[in-house]
Chains A and B, each alone.
Chain A
């Protein structure tokens, strides 16, 4: 048995699960707290990945930059870029009801993907960006534990920050808006301001997820950011884990990633002519799993709970 390979796979598995946890936490701000139906996750994920890649790769590539900046600057740039785009999108769409916002966001994700694909001066087009540095490379070289540590730290920081936000009066207003927007307006809340804040914050977190992904895999191209996979999986993770519950979002990411990558190992052992068809079966399996969870645990594995009273931290 190849123990080193197994450990390496374990680290990669956890790294990817952590990246999805960050994405699910970002969606939780939008959908779980505020009731915003964003199905353009892949777009903000891609913006974050490209922003960090452009900021941190060595100069001389066929794309903009690179600027050879440290990875942590890349992560910050990714959040900033996603936040700016989310703010622009948000100003146009915050007035939209949930279902219309969904249509708008799916369109925006598609526009972003086409921009990444076609604006070669910026992104090197379909050939993508290679040589994206690993974090902590001076200390750890190419060791997979380094990126794992960074991702786990990001999950922890985002989780703690969002828990704090959820328990604050700010979070209380977001959940009120989600539950009943006219009543929140009647209570004097500037609903548009809160919705814009939630949309921008959630999207910035998704951008962070994208940057972590770029530094994990080292190479990105528009192929990786089709809407199906990322957006679909993150939604499933949040719904399965427990919308509105930050721990649920993390747990959902871990559980669904386990099923998703577990089935990849299984289908990988099938005869070659069945492998491609098995890919579709995996999506089907996830869909069935969602149905089962919604039927028996409609609020997810860890349902939302109100913060305990007088917990004013």
Chain B
């Protein structure tokens, strides 16, 4: 019996102008997996991610998260329901320190209300201490401790990607969508990134759904792998399986990209 799906997408479509970016796409991501999503440029992968995370509203179809219909929810509600995403291009807060970048993430901070900000009670201070300690742990794991008090804008591209993953870790969300976590990250950092993802998946039961072009990283981390082309999923299985399928090769070659 197949494991229960945490994300279920049914007949979802999204058009920009006249172009169908996602075309009646249906798929399911199983709880506890590290699922890959590959496909040529323009296949609709990022658009699909944006819709699942609430950044875009589907033109048609339903999206369920943990059994709940979340279609059309705004991002902060989807987040509160347990899903966090990262961006292809790192979306940090350049003038906040690296540590603040992490500390701003956790939900339910009493100090974010007007009353809690101006009349902070013990609860606000306790939370800040706890969140600060958690941020320090994450910085340690990502090897960014030495840079904690620097403005995040000063980080290198690869470090920004790590920080992006760090923000996802701070969210403590059971479902994590990573949009090209490996792009622009050097080999050493990439190894660390894989290690972190594997650990979160194995030890903390987080489900990952990862868009990635780096096939080494996909081979290393992802099972199963979904292939998207022309706005829908055209194959699913282990990377070795989908690589063997003729129409997957065609999609890549026809799309002008190198084969998977």
Listed A/B pairs (28) with beta-carbon separation below 8 Å:
A161-B118, A164-B118, A168-B112, A168-B118, A168-B120, A169-B117, A169-B127, A170-B113, A172-B103, A173-B104, A176-B93, A178-B95, A179-B93, A179-B94, A185-B55, A185-B75, A186-B75, A186-B167, A187-B104, A187-B105, A187-B171, A188-B75, A189-B76, A304-B95, A306-B96, A309-B149, A310-B132, A312-B124
A244 at interface by CB-CB < 8 Å: yes
Interface segment, one of B21-29, B83-91, B186-194: B83-91
Of A164, A178, A188, A313, the most chain B CB neighbours within 10 A belong to A188
Contact with A168, one of B99, B117, B148 (Cβ below 8 angstroms): B117
Min Cβ gap A185→B in Å is 4
Within 8 A of B (CB), among A54-83: none
CB neighbours of A169 from chain B (8 A): 103-104, 109-112, 116-117, 124, 127-128
Contact residues on B (Cβ < 8 Å of other chain), bracket: 35 or more
Contact residues on A (Cβ < 8 Å of other chain), bracket: 20 to 34
A187–B79 CB distance below 8 A: yes
A-to-B contact residues, CB < 8 Å: 161, 164-165, 168-173, 175-176, 178-180, 182-191, 197, 244, 304, 306, 309-310, 312-313
Given contacts A170-B113, A175-B100, 13 further A-B contacts (CB under 8 A): A169-B110, A171-B117, A172-B96, A172-B104, A175-B93, A180-B94, A182-B87, A182-B91, A186-B85, A188-B76, A188-B107, A306-B97, A312-B128
Query: Taking chain A's interface residues, is the majority helix, strand, or loop, or is none over half, making it mixed?
Result: helix
Within the assembled complex, what's the spacing in Å between the Cα atoms of A37 and B176? 34
A188–B79 CB distance below 8 A: yes
Min Cβ gap B145→A in Å is 12
B72 at interface by CB-CB < 8 Å: no
B95–A309 CB distance below 8 A: no
Within the assembled complex, what's the spacing in Å between the Cα atoms of A89 and B47? 33
B112–A170 CB distance below 8 A: yes
Question: Contacts A185-B55, A188-B171, A312-B124 known; A168 to B149 CB distance under 8 Å?
Answer: no
CB neighbours of B171 from chain A (8 A): 187-188
B111–A170 CB distance below 8 A: yes
B128–A176 CB distance below 8 A: no
CB neighbours of A183 from chain B (8 A): 87, 91-93, 167
Within the assembled complex, what's the spacing in Å between the Cα atoms of A197 and B118? 13
Chain A residue nearest to B109 (CB atoms) is A169
Within the assembled complex, what's the spacing in Å between the Cα atoms of A191 and B114? 14
